[in-house]
């Protein structure tokens, strides 16, 4: 039966690979890609090559108003029958900044806004439109472990604080530094896992929520807003690590993401998928008090 999957972060990197695989593996999918400005139309046209059904909606994930407008448009299209039933949401878009000072028009720290609040607002506004069986997949990161084994010393571990602090700039020491920016990133990915756990508790039966960790994937544009040295390293030097066991290639990570989204990879609701297997996330990531606190804060932050 024809059904809709909504996806952010499909324009490049593992998202682009995953989008193509989703369409090839499931011809009944109407893939709705969320992209900024006019790039969505071009992306949809490229993905539709071969007879696939793809459409787009425009959104700037750094603006809650823009996300709300995009989600409202999707709901209207679902309600009118322009889109088939909604059976998936993929929150794959993510951002890492060179500091913890970058602020959105809504007054939130940009890493937290894009990596946490944008996903939450999409999920909440689409909440009543999901038709079981459905799956929500949020791209997480093993940077949330905060140890050398998972991060190879490249990204500081998360530094959890009250969500009211994390959502604003200057949440971490020396906020104008790359270290603070990377700490904001790993902390945002811990927050994403907390919300996955909370979704799993609150969603109706048959609508699952899963966190997916692609591992370290060199050569993506994740650090496109980072400092010049970091951008050069991510694009030109670190891609050679794809040939080692310490990294995952874009193709491999994208294929795994697609399999998780389509449910061909079995993962119970609330689980953490580490590349090709269901595994435990960090010990710190299992904290019902923090999960509930973050849920309440995200609801406040994203209220119309």
pLDDT in tens, 21-50: 999 999 999 999 999 988 999 999 999 998
239: Cα within 13 Å, side-chain hemisphere: 11
CA separation, residue 220 to residues 9, 238, 300 (Å) = 11, 10, 33
Confidence of residue 179 (pLDDT cuts 50, 70, 90): very high
Sheet strand arrangement including 86-91:
53-58, 29-35, 3-8, 86-91, 130-139, 207-213, 272-274, 277-279
The pLDDT of residue 266 is 87
The CA-based diameter of the chain, rounded to the nearest angstrom, is 53
Please, which pLDDT band fits residue 227 given cuts at 50, 70 and 90? low
Per-residue pLDDT, averaged over 215-235, amounts to: 57
pLDDT at 265 over 70: yes
Q: Is residue 248 very low, low, confident or very high in pLDDT (cuts 50, 70, 90)?
A: confident
The pLDDT score that the predictor gives to residue 286 is 98
Strand partners for 33: 7, 56
The yes-or-no verdict on residue 228 having pLDDT over 50 is yes
Cα-Cα-Cα-Cα torsion 264, 239, 186, 271, nearest 10 degrees, comes to: 10
pLDDT at 241: 47
pLDDT category of residue 243 using cuts at 50, 70 and 90:
very low
Write down the pLDDT at residue 148.
Answer: 75
Query: How many C-beta atoms surround the C-beta of residue 125 within 10 A?
Result: 18
- Amino acid 27: pLDDT: 94
Nearest Cα neighbor of 109 from 171, 65, 160 is 171
Least confident of 5-9, 61-65, 215-219, 220-224: 220-224
Tens-digit pLDDT profile for residues 138-166: 999 999 998 877 776 678 999 999 999 99
Average of per-residue pLDDT across 81-96:
97
- For the chain, the average pLDDT equals 91
Q: Tokens 């024809």 appear where?
A: 2
* pLDDT at residue 89 greater than cutoff 80: yes
- Using the 8-state DSSP alphabet, how is residue 223 labeled? T
Question: Token pair for residue 231?
Answer: 């951008």
Q: What are the CB-based long-range contacts (under 8 Å, 24+) for 241-249?
A: 241/216, 242/217, 242/218, 246/152, 246/216, 247/215, 247/216, 247/217, 247/218, 248/214, 248/215, 248/216, 248/217, 248/275, 249/217
Q: With a cut of 80, say whether residue 231 has pLDDT above it.
A: no
Distances (CA, A) of 192 to 44, 103, 220, 264: 27, 19, 20, 23
Using alpha carbons only, what angle is made at residue 241 by residues 237 and 244, rounded to the nearest 5 degrees?
Answer: 160
Q: How confident is the model at residue 237 (pLDDT cuts 50, 70, 90)?
A: very low
* Sequence-distant (≥ 6) Cβ neighbours of residue 55 within 8 angstroms: 30, 31, 32, 33, 44, 83
9 within 8 A of 92, measured Cβ to Cβ = yes
Whole-angstrom distance, CA of residue 208 vs CA of residue 16: 23
pLDDT tens, residue by residue, 276-292: 999 999 999 999 999 99
Residue 87 parent element (H or E): strand 86-91
């Amino acid at each position: 039966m024809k059904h809709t999957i909504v996806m952010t972060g499909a324009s490049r990197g593992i998202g682009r690979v995953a989008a193509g695989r989703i369409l090839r593996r499931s011809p009944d999918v109407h893939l709705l890609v969320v992209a900024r400005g006019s790039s969505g139309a071009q992306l949809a046209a490229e993905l539709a090559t071969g007879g696939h059904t793809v459409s787009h909606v425009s959104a700037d994930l750094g603006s809650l108003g823009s996300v709300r407008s995009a989600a409202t448009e999707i709901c209207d299209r679902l309600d009118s029958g322009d889109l088939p039933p909604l059976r998936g949401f993929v929150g794959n878009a993510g951002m890492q900044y060179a500091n913890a000072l970058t602020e959105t028009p809504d007054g939130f720290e940009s890493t937290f806004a894009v990596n946490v609040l944008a996903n939450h607002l999409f999920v909440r506004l689409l909440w009543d439109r999901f038709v079981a069986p459905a799956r929500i997949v949020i791209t997480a990161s093993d940077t949330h472990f905060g140890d050398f084994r998972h991060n190879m010393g490249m990204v500081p571990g998360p530094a959890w604080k009250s969500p009211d602090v994390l959502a604003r700039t200057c949440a971490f020491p020396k906020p104008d530094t790359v270290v603070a920016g990377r700490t904001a990133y790993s902390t945002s990915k811990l927050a994403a896992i907390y919300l996955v756990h909370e979704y799993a508790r609150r969603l109706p039966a048959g609508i699952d929520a899963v966190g997916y960790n692609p591992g370290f994937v060199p050569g993506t544009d994740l650090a496109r807003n980072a400092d010049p040295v970091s951008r050069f390293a991510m694009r030109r030097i670190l891609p050679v690590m794809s040939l080692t066991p310490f990294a995952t290639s874009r193709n491999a990570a994208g294929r795994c993401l697609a399999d998780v989204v389509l449910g061909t990879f079995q993962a119970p609701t609330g689980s953490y998928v580490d590349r090709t297997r269901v595994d435990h996330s960090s010990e710190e990531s299992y904290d019902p008090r923090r999960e509930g606190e973050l849920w309440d804060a995200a609801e406040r932050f994203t209220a119309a």
